[in-house]
Amino acid sequence: MKFSQLATYIEKIESTGSRLTITNLLAELFKKLSEGEIGNTVYLLQGRLVPQYENTEFGMAEKTVVKAAIFALNVEKKYFDDKNKTVGDLGRTVEFFKKQYPSLEQKDFSINEIYEKLLRMATSTGNGSQELKINIMADMIRRIDPLSSRYLVRIPLGIMRLGFSDMTVLDSISWMLKGDKSLRPLIEKAYHVRPDLGFITQSVKKDGIKGLDKITPKLFTPIIMMRAERLSSGHEIIEKIGSCLVEPKYDGFRLQIHYKKSSKFDDVRLYSRSLENVTFMYPDIVEAVKREVDVDEIIFEGEAIGYDPKNNRFLPFQETVQRKRKYGIEEKIKEIPLKLFAFELLYLNGKSYLETNFQERRKTLERAIKISGDVTKDNILLAPEEIVVEDKKIEALFEDAIGRGLEGIIAKKLTGIYQPGARGWNWIKFKRSYTSKINDTIDCLVMGYDLGRGKRTGFGIGAFLVGVYDEQNDRFITVAKIGTGLSDEEWKELQIKSQKLKIKNKPNNYIIDKMMECDVWISPAIVVEIKADEISRSPVHTAEYALRFPRLQKFRDDKSPYETTTLVELKKMYKLQQH
């Protein structure tokens, strides 16, 4: 397929706010694509060249793309800059000039040709790489049609923002195959094990839905992490899953560790809940895995938490979070060393453990890690466990965990399997607050903000709008606008995080009442953990629920927008507080 045909589809997608329409457009597009085109096309629709967990970036600032456009179009810089400022969208600015000055060298590149050129740009490094990137981009701008140019320049800047998520793509695959979304559960199950839309769509295009049956864990492809359900008493937990294994719930960074032993060099990669490769951030964990894990290949999970060796105590999240950084890592390792509490085994030496019962997974994990039992010496520890048969014991373990400054406890079903991406009754989170009607915090997406006034003029933000994920309709719906309860440092951090995410128009998958409109919209990226006293019904928030007295607990950089609290979960929390 030609890139110009893809641009036509993108324009239709961009101009609609209907999820069903977008799903049908994608399904129609996928039907027309060949096996060799569909994977690359899906990446381009996301403004990417590789899956999310691979760190391939273009390394091109907007001024570099502008330079390429001016070179290609042969227009004066001031004329271009003035027009771009008026239009407010670099893609539409380039499209405008393409229409004014049609090229004599026009060529209708195929999707794969454009993809290969963009990949060459992204992988070019060293001396002369910026000049090469400018020349490749300029050549494409010069030769493609105006509409294609609108979307081409957005890709290296990461601003495609077409208003649909991976879940809509999964629905579209089902529609492509069967004309409805009935195959979505099967496709989603495979995607949770191999969260690579290019690979998933290519597999389906090649072998149909049966092609997904063969999908198993793959080393260095992160598995979407399983999540826990919530209950607020030991009695409810025993009633739900019977005898269970109870572990402390640590308040740190959840990591998925992939390790391969080799005669040349051992390879370790660490992934966050949001599938980000964070290996470089935690070299002390990497070295600990090489030293203390005694297998050839393994995928396991654990919680990394800061440790104070002087006082032999674990640190609260506010201190542990300082380890999540791109610079000054070695200095912070000395200041805040990490301990990794391993608690889940997913894959070992070529065998998937996803369908294996929890007790066997745990025993096998214990054999894979060399542990002396000395917390001062071991960097990788096994999360302590206790099999519990009585609800009173669960309550006692919870009280003990709280007394030691932990978040609470996790109860695990003894025969439970590991369900990637699912929130089920294999794990139950027991976290309770004594100061409000809500038994847990709510993870929300920051959707936009109002400009600061008065004392907050300096921060640039006066109040920010947050929402939860409506999983069924693949959209974000509002629950609160927060203007108090943040420290000066937190306001500044929010302002800094928001700067690169500001967009001119509200995303299509943000559903917002007119009364909650914001001065500035930001693209979905910032997740915050919110504490509130109560959930109430609301006529002005699109979730139809609102948070009373909401306040920021912390930024959740480890979570993706689609890992926020869902509407279904919010409704459950609303019902629980009534009891």
- Burial status of residue 464 (CB atoms within 10 A of its CB: 0-12, 13-18, 19 or more): buried
d(CA 389, CA 357): 18
- DSSP bridge partners of 478: 467
Q: Tell me how far apart the alpha carbons of residues 454 and 162 are, in angstroms, rounded to a whole number.
A: 36
Q: Which residues contact 505 (CB under 8 A, 6 or more apart)?
A: 521
Give the list of residues 6+ apart from residue 424 with CB closer than 8 angstroms, or none: 226, 229, 416
Amino acid occupying residue 458: G
The runs of H, that is alpha helices, within 58-125 are 62-73, 77-87, 90-100, 111-123
Paired strand residues for 449: 464, 520
Residue 206, token pair as written in the block:
């090649």
CA-based max dimension of the chain: 80
Choose, from 205, 249, 339, 429, the residue flagged as catalytic: 249
Dihedrals phi, psi of 483, to nearest 5 degrees: -125, 0
CA distance 303 to 80: 50
Q: Is 431 helix (H, G, I), strand (E, B) or coil?
A: coil
* β-strand pairing of 380-382 with 338-348: parallel
> What is the number of alpha carbons within 13 Å of residue 98 lying toward its C-beta?
26
Residues 6+ apart with CB under 8 A from 457: none
Describe the crossing of helices 197-207 and 166-178 by its angle, rounded to 10 degrees.
10
Is the CB of residue 518 less than 8 Å from the CB of residue 535?
no
Rounded-to-integer distance, Cα 109 and Cα 144, Å: 7
326 is catalytic: no
Closest by CA position to 426, among listed 359, 329, 507, 336:
359
Residue 276 backbone class (left: φ over 0; alpha: ψ -120 to 50; beta: rest): beta
What's the CA angle centered on 403, arms 400 and 407, to 5 degrees? 85
Active site residues: 249
